[in-house]
């Protein structure tokens, strides 16, 4: 995505420079860091102390995995409310398959990706083949998984070998390995959306499914792929949960990770109505949420005020995006304000 | 020109829900020809074009296509993609473009060039630049985002998409409807360029100037029938207008009622304008029916919406019953005694899943300024005076026929006892009996001293009912005619063939 719109209008003049949405979000991230840093400093602390940086970056990885996956489905004008449950289930699949044996790690990872991919395929099939509204379809899938988790696992299960727990705790300098993995996958996702047909077509499907179909795009396949990818990213999030807890945890779904992921995607400038946005913005959205949480944590803001502030930030951001959208009217104007022909 | 035509459609027939819209129409297009398809609103132009594009399939007739080396073959498109693959591309008024993507991405959508399996953006941009250069377009960057382009450039993007698909025939539906004058020149050049390259163009329009400037041959449709197919050189603009209209007035309109007299001006607009209309001067007197005529997109509905505060005038003044008023919202219009029967009955006129009673009460219930017990009590009488046929006031309106639905809409407005009523296409999609009932109701309203503003695509309705006819062209008033004027006169103004000289620009 380019920082500045390079196109010229008919007369060859450059239009007023307008920052792209992605650039704007990174600016917002810098702003939040500066404001947060100042607030913490006034409080007598240092937001950029190593411990705080580690905290901040650690927070980005889990939400990051989920939000990257969520970006695919939202770009396609779909949604996935089941990712929190998929992540919880994945943590159990991983921990019970590994069962304390380092040799089982590759099998466990493969199995997690297979199971989560299948759940994503089921979600995709409900949405494309049965035509169920994605909100309802994935809510249903989530409830089914919840029922399974609640009845089959009364507590933590499985045992994650120490080697794999490194994924959850090791750091390179102050950067957690999990965050590095998240950023690498984010880069891969950016590349996927830009350079592969399926990725490129996600924008078309979300932008206008009829136009996409009329152009010969197999829209259902694209939507299905988005759901599979989304669920597989939730599977990776489940692997991280397992590494952090050392066991599989059915209770993980109670954290409502899916809502954080959606918030991060929308905060990152991806249109909830699809067709516009991208993973680069999502990463910034995730980072903004992480910075806020760390700031609240350091300043020991009480939980209620913390949630209120988080909500306010998300609403404000989306309201700002909505304003940027307003200039696109459905009917093409014929006259200028002064009554001259356009 | 080759021996066999590029396209020949024979005896094309099509009905929608039992209503025939095309009766055995023929159309032949030679290779490299620009062929005009003309006719009034509802003559069947769009339907014929959509059959060719694979959007609709014909009920009767054959389509033979002669593209490339394959020679002549019968085709019947059931999906737009089939038409595209056969070399027939269509540019509709609603563009099939994705505003968030670039010109190059839109041109190659679904057919992205790839290198080693990955999208080759450089090749995509280069090929797009080639197509654009070929079309003589220099000022459009392949990387520009489509949503940021002017309508004209979006149209060029559509045409470039068609050309890059290797289309032999490009159909354009009212291509200049949304263009400014300077942009029309651009389109002219483009069409001529296509012709030079041997691409045929089907040019659907009712703007005479363009047709005579651009087209080699003209096919005229009227009421879904083929009237004439002639070389442009062999026909004059006046002949063409006569061929497009020249219809006997088959509908019988009720006479003006005894005692109807034009009184004070109830609605006055001076210099009204917004983004879609400009310089609108309009007077509607008590007891008067003023017709608003014009082609689709000429600004008729936009005036109705401005008067009713949906998309208000941003310039000029409005007076209701002599009092200046700024109508910025529908509530203000209702408070001032204005009613609007909207064009789209189901989407804007009715709450389809609610009862007849709830719908008829809606305006009164929602607006304290017009609400009264007395008016509520009048509703049952109002409904029966409109000859509403329903199982009862509890029936959901979605189960009523179009005509009866429209009667409910009219009732809900009359319940508020308005002084000005704007009727936008009040008879669209309703049966003959209900139409005639509505005609009588309109006459009665005038006799009661309401000011009536009537919008109708069917010219005979405007001619048969209105005391005066205001004709719009491209968002401005092109001229005014007395009621009972001929269709030719109205069409002359509506198509821009004639403009009122006295009107200051």
For residue B270, what pLDDT is reported? 96
Is B276 within 8 Å of A212 when comparing Cβ atoms?
no
Q: Model confidence at A327, in pLDDT bands (50, 70, 90)? A: very low
In sign, the C-alpha dihedral spanning B475, A323, B316, B309 is positive
Clarify whether residues B11 and B61 are in a common domain.
Answer: yes
For residue A5, what pLDDT is reported? 37
Task: Please report residues of A whose CB lies closer than 8 A to that of B152.
Answer: 10
Relative to beta strand B420-424, strand B451-455 is parallel
Q: Model confidence at A13, in pLDDT bands (50, 70, 90)? A: very low
Domain membership of residue B427 (yes or no) is: yes
For residue B316, what pLDDT is reported? 94
Clarify whether residues B341 and B461 are in a common domain.
Answer: yes
| pLDDT, tens digit (0-9, with 9 covering 90-100), for A239-263 | 999 999 999 999 889 888 999 999 9
Shortest distance between the Cα of A337 and any Cα of chain B, in A, equals 7
| pLDDT, tens digit (0-9, with 9 covering 90-100), for A68-118 | 999 999 999 999 999 999 999 999 999 999 999 999 999 999 999 999 999
For residue B19, CA distances in Å to B13, B400, B460 come to: 11, 19, 19
Residue B70: other Cβ atoms inside 10 A: 10
Write down which residue in B214, B244, B274 finishes a domain.
Answer: B244
CA distance B30 to B67: 11
Domain membership of residue A4 (yes or no) is: no
Q: Give the residue from B153, B135, B152 showing the smallest Cα distance to B144.
A: B153
Question: Order of strands, edge to edge, in the sheet holding B315-320?
Answer: B280-285, B265-273, B315-320, B323-324
Domain membership of residue B139 (yes or no) is: no
Residue A197, SS3 per DSSP: helix
For residue A332, what pLDDT is reported? 63
CA distance B503 to B482: 17
Domain membership of residue B157 (yes or no) is: no
Is A200 within 8 Å of B119 when comparing Cβ atoms?
yes
Cβ under 8 Å to A: B residues 291-310: 299
For residue A105, what pLDDT is reported? 95
Domain membership of residue A9 (yes or no) is: no
Domain membership of residue B431 (yes or no) is: yes
**Would you list the DSSP string of A129-195?**
TS---HHHHHHHHHHHHHHHHHHH-SS-BS---HHHHHHHH-EETTEEHHHHHHHHHHHHHHHHHHH
For residue A19, what pLDDT is reported? 64
User: ∠ at Cα A330 (B326, A321), nearest 5°?
Assistant: 95
CB environment A128-141: b (16+ within 10 A), e (fewer): beeebebeebbbbb
Q: Model confidence at A127, in pLDDT bands (50, 70, 90)? A: very high
The 8-class DSSP code of residue B4 comes to S
Task: Please report residues of B whose CB lies closer than 8 A to that of A9.
Answer: 150
Is A216 within 8 Å of B112 when comparing Cβ atoms?
no
Half-sphere exposure for B215 (CA within 13 Å, toward CB): 30
ipTM comes to 0.81
Strand pairing partners for B119?
B114
Clarify whether residues B225 and B274 are in a common domain.
Answer: no
Residue B70 belongs to domain with CATH number:
3.40.50.300
- pLDDT > 90 fraction of chain A, expressed in percent and rounded: 70
B315 shares contact with chain A (CB less than 8 Å): yes
Clarify whether residues B271 and B347 are in a common domain.
Answer: yes
For residue B431, what pLDDT is reported? 72
| pLDDT, tens digit (0-9, with 9 covering 90-100), for A30-73 | 999 999 999 999 988 899 999 999 999 999 999 999 999 999 99
CA distance A85 to A254: 9
For residue A329, what pLDDT is reported? 43
For residue B457, what pLDDT is reported? 80
Residue B176, SS3 per DSSP: coil
Q: Model confidence at A2, in pLDDT bands (50, 70, 90)? A: very low
Structural domain including A39 reads 21-321
Task: Please report residues of B whose CB lies closer than 8 A to that of A207.
Answer: 98-101
| pLDDT, tens digit (0-9, with 9 covering 90-100), for B338-357 | 999 998 888 889 999 999 99
| pLDDT, tens digit (0-9, with 9 covering 90-100), for B369-398 | 999 999 999 999 999 999 998 888 999 998
pLDDT, average across residues A122-140: 96
For residue B251, what pLDDT is reported? 55
Clarify whether residues B227 and B300 are in a common domain.
Answer: no
The pair phi, psi for residue B286, each rounded to 5°, is -60, 135
- What is the total count of domains within chain A? 1
Domain membership of residue B181 (yes or no) is: no
**Mean pLDDT split into 10-residue runs, chain B, 505 residues:** 77 82 91 90 83 89 77 80 89 87 94 91 94 89 89 90 92 81 83 92 85 92 87 86 63 80 93 93 95 88 94 95 95 95 89 94 92 94 92 89 91 95 88 84 95 89 93 92 88 81 43
B176 shares contact with chain A (CB less than 8 Å): no
CA distance B134 to B193: 8
Task: Please report residues of B whose CB lies closer than 8 A to that of A275.
Answer: 98, 100
CB environment A163-182: b (16+ within 10 A), e (fewer): ebeebbeeeeebebbbbebb
Task: Please report residues of B whose CB lies closer than 8 A to that of A5.
Answer: 145, 148
For residue B504, what pLDDT is reported? 42
Clarify whether residues B426 and B347 are in a common domain.
Answer: yes
Domain membership of residue B311 (yes or no) is: yes
Domain membership of residue B216 (yes or no) is: yes
The residue among B238 and A311 whose pLDDT is bigger is A311
What value does the mean pLDDT of chain A take?
89
Task: Please report residues of A whose CB lies closer than 8 A to that of B91.
Answer: none
Task: Please report residues of B whose CB lies closer than 8 A to that of A342.
Answer: 180
Q: Are A328 and B99 in contact (CB under 8 A)?
A: yes
B279 shares contact with chain A (CB less than 8 Å): yes
Structural domain including B218 reads 1-87+201-244
Q: Are A261 and A63 in contact (CB under 8 A)?
A: yes
Domain membership of residue B134 (yes or no) is: no
Clarify whether residues B429 and B478 are in a common domain.
Answer: yes
Residue A27: other Cβ atoms inside 10 A: 12
The pair phi, psi for residue B396, each rounded to 5°, is -70, 140
Shortest distance between the Cα of A330 and any Cα of chain B, in A, equals 10
- What is the total count of domains within chain B? 2
Across the interface, of B114, B139, B148, the residue whose CB is closest to A5 is B148
Using the predicted structure, report yes or no on whether residue A8 has a pLDDT greater than 70.
no
SS3 sequence, B188-227?
Answer: HHHHHHHHHCCCEEEEECCCHHHHHHHCCEEEEEECCEEE
Q: Model confidence at A191, in pLDDT bands (50, 70, 90)? A: very high
Task: Please report residues of B whose CB lies closer than 8 A to that of A332.
Answer: 151, 178
For residue B175, what pLDDT is reported? 86
For residue A14, what pLDDT is reported? 41
Clarify whether residues B210 and B334 are in a common domain.
Answer: no
- List the single best residue of A6, A13, A214, A276 to mutate versus B (max B Cβ within 10 A): A214
For residue B80, CA distances in Å to A211, B49, B87, B329 come to: 11, 12, 11, 41
For residue A325, what pLDDT is reported? 61
Is A216 within 8 Å of B110 when comparing Cβ atoms?
yes
Clarify whether residues B339 and B438 are in a common domain.
Answer: yes
Clarify whether residues B210 and B283 are in a common domain.
Answer: no
Across the interface, of A207, A332, A336, the residue whose CB is closest to B98 is A207
Q: Model confidence at A339, in pLDDT bands (50, 70, 90)? A: confident
- List the single best residue of B119, B122, B298 to mutate versus A (max A Cβ within 10 A): B119
B82 shares contact with chain A (CB less than 8 Å): no
What tokens were used for B332? 């203000």
The interaxial angle of helices A50-75 and A197-207, nearest 10 deg, is: 70
What tokens were used for B249? 């007035």
Half-sphere exposure for B241 (CA within 13 Å, toward CB): 19
Task: Please report residues of A whose CB lies closer than 8 A to that of B112.
Answer: 197, 200
Clarify whether residues B422 and B478 are in a common domain.
Answer: yes
For residue B253, what pLDDT is reported? 83
For residue B295, what pLDDT is reported? 82
Domain membership of residue A306 (yes or no) is: yes
Q: Give the residue from B271, B308, B253 showing the smallest Cα distance to B424.
A: B308
Clarify whether residues B207 and B345 are in a common domain.
Answer: no
Using the predicted structure, report yes or no on whether residue A331 has a pLDDT greater than 90.
no
What tokens were used for B460? 């005979």
For residue B260, what pLDDT is reported? 84
Is B111 within 8 Å of A216 when comparing Cβ atoms?
yes
Shortest distance between the Cα of B273 and any Cα of chain A, in A, equals 7
| pLDDT, tens digit (0-9, with 9 covering 90-100), for A274-306 | 899 999 999 999 999 999 999 999 999 898 888
A-B CB pairs within 8 A amount to 104
């Amino acid at each position: 995505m380019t920082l500045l719109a390079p196109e010229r209008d008919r007369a060859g003049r450059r239009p007023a420079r307008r920052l792209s949405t992605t650039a704007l979000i990174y600016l917002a991230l810098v702003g939040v860091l500066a404001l947060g840093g100042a607030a913490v400093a006034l409080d007598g602390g240092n937001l950029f102390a190593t411990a705080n940086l580690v905290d901040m970056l650690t927070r980005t990885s889990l939400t990051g995995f989920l939000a990257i996956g969520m970006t695919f489905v939202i770009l396609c004008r779909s949604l996935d409310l089941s990712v929190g449950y998929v992540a919880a289930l994945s943590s159990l699949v991983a921990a019970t398959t590994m069962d304390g044996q380092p040799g089982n790690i590759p099998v466990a990872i493969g199995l997690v990706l297979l199971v989560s991919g299948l759940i994503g395929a089921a979600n995709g099939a409900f949405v494309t083949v049965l035509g169920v509204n994605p909100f309802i379809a994935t809510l249903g899938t989530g409830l089914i998984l919840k029922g399974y988790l609640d009845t089959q696992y009364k507590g933590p299960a499985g045992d994650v070998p120490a080697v794999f727990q490194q994924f959850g705790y090791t750091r390179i300098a102050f950067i957690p390995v999990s965050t590095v993995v998240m950023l690498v996958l984010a880069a891969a996702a950016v590349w996927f959306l830009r350079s592969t047909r399926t990725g490129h077509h996600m924008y078309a499907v979300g932008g206008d499914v009829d136009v996409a179909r009329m152009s010969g795009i197999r829209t259902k396949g694209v939507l299905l792929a988005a759901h599979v990818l989304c669920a597989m990213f939730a599977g990776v999030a489940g692997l991280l949960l397992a590494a952090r807890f050392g066991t599989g945890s059915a209770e993980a779904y109670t954290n409502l990770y899916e809502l954080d992921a959606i918030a991060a995607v929308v905060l990152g400038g991806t249109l909830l109505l699809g067709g516009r946005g991208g993973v680069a913005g999502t990463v910034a959205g995730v980072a903004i949420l992480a910075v806020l949480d760390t700031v609240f944590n350091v300043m020991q803001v009480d939980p209620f005020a913390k949630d209120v502030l988080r909500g306010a930030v998300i609403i404000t951001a989306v309201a700002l995006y909505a304003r940027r959208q307003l200039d696109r009217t459905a009917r093409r104007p014929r006259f200028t304000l002064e009554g001259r022909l356009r | 020109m080759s021996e066999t035509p590029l396209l020949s459609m024979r005896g094309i027939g099509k009905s929608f829900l039992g209503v025939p819209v095309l009766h055995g129409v023929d159309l032949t297009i030679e290779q490299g020809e620009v062929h005009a398809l003309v006719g009034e609103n509802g003559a069947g132009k769009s339907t014929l074009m959509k059959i060719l594009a694979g959007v609709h399939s014909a009920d009767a007739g054959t389509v033979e296509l002669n593209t490339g080396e394959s020679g002549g073959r019968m085709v019947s498109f059931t999906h737009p993609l089939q038409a595209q693959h056969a070399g027939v591309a269509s540019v509709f008024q609603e563009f099939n473009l994705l505003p968030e993507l670039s010109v190059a991405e839109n041109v190659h959508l679904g057919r992205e060039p790839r290198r080693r399996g990955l999208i080759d953006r450089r090749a995509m941009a280069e090929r797009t630049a080639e197509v654009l250069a070929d079309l003589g377009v220099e000022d459009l960057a392949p990387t520009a985002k489509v949503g940021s382009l002017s309508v004209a450039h979006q149209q060029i993007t559509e045409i470039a998409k068609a050309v890059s698909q290797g289309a032999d025939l490009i159909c354009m539906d009212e291509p200049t409807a949304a263009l400014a004058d300077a942009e029309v020149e651009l389109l002219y050049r483009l069409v001529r360029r296509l012709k030079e390259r041997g691409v045929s163009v089907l040019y659907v329009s009712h703007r005479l100037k363009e047709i005579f400037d651009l087209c080699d041959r003209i096919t005229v449709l009227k009421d879904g029938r083929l009237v004439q197919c002639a070389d442009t050189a062999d026909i004059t603009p006046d002949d063409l207008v006569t061929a497009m209209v020249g219809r006997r007035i088959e509908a019988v309109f009720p006479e003006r009622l005894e005692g109807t007299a034009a009184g004070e001006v109830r609605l006055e607009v001076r210099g009204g304008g917004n983004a879609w209309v400009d310089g609108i001067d309009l007077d509607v007197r008590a007891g008067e029916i003023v017709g608003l005529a014009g082609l689709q997109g000429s600004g008729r509905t936009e005036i109705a919406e401005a008067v009713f505060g949906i998309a208000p005038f941003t310039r000029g003044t409005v007076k209701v019953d002599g009092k200046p008023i700024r109508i910025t919202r529908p509530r203000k219009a209702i408070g001032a005694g204005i009613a609007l029967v909207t064009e789209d009955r189901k989407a804007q006129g009715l709450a389809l899943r609610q009862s007849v009673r709830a719908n008829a009460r809606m305006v009164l219930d929602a607006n304290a300024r017009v609400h009264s017990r007395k008016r509520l009590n009048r509703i049952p009488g109002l409904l029966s005076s409109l000859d509403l046929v329903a199982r009862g006031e509890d029936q959901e309106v979605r189960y009523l026929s179009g005509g009866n639905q429209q009667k409910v809409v009219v009732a809900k407005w009359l319940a508020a006892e308005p002084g000005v009523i704007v009727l936008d296409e009040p008879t669209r999609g309703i049966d003959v009996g209900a139409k005639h009932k509505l005609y009588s109701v309109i006459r009665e309203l005038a006799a009661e001293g309401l000011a009536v503003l009537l919008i109708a695509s069917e010219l005979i309705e405007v001619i048969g009912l209105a005391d005066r006819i205001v004709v719009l062209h491209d968002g401005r008033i092109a001229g005014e005619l007395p009621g009972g004027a001929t269709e030719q006169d109205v069409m002359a103004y509506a198509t821009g063939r004639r403009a009122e000289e006295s009107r200051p620009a």
